[in-house]
Amino acid sequence: MLRHGELISTPGTIDKVPALDFCYIVPSDDFATATFQPTLDPSPLTVATYDVYAWWTAHSNRATNAHFTIVHANGTSVRDDINQQENGGQWVLLGQYDFNAGSSGYVELSNDGSD
């Protein structure tokens, strides 16, 4: 995961930017999000293509339809077909997107519509 545009540390280490180590439980009628918004270097291009990945620990209490919204240079894309009960402990490609330099693009994970 990136935090402020920098690669975060592996859990339990401090070799890079400190990671956020948190979890929360929200009632099923409450809406919650986690947003990852890097600041992308403007040089040498104002728009560049990036592979967008997510990482999680798989467990039977995770969503089978995690809801990711990717806001990028060409609009907004939604991935609500990500099964977080599978593929844990590895980078999972959400897609390849063009992003403008700066911090206008982001990836948001929400519980909206997720089981």
How far apart are the C-alpha atoms of 88 and 91, rounded to whole Å? 8
| pLDDT tens column, 80-111 | 999 999 998 899 999 999 999 988 999 999 88
pTM above 0.85, yes or no: no
At a CB cut-off of 8 Å and minimum separation 6, what does 27 contact?
none
Positions of the chain with pLDDT under 50: 1-4, 22
Question: What percent of the chain clears pLDDT 70, i.e. is strictly above it?
Answer: 72
User: What confidence score (pLDDT) does residue 20 get?
Assistant: 53
Q: Are strands 75-82 and 33-36 parallel, antiparallel or unpaired?
A: unpaired
How far apart are the C-alpha atoms of 57 and 98, rounded to whole Å? 27
Report how far apart the first and last C-alpha atoms of the chain are (Å, whole number).
23
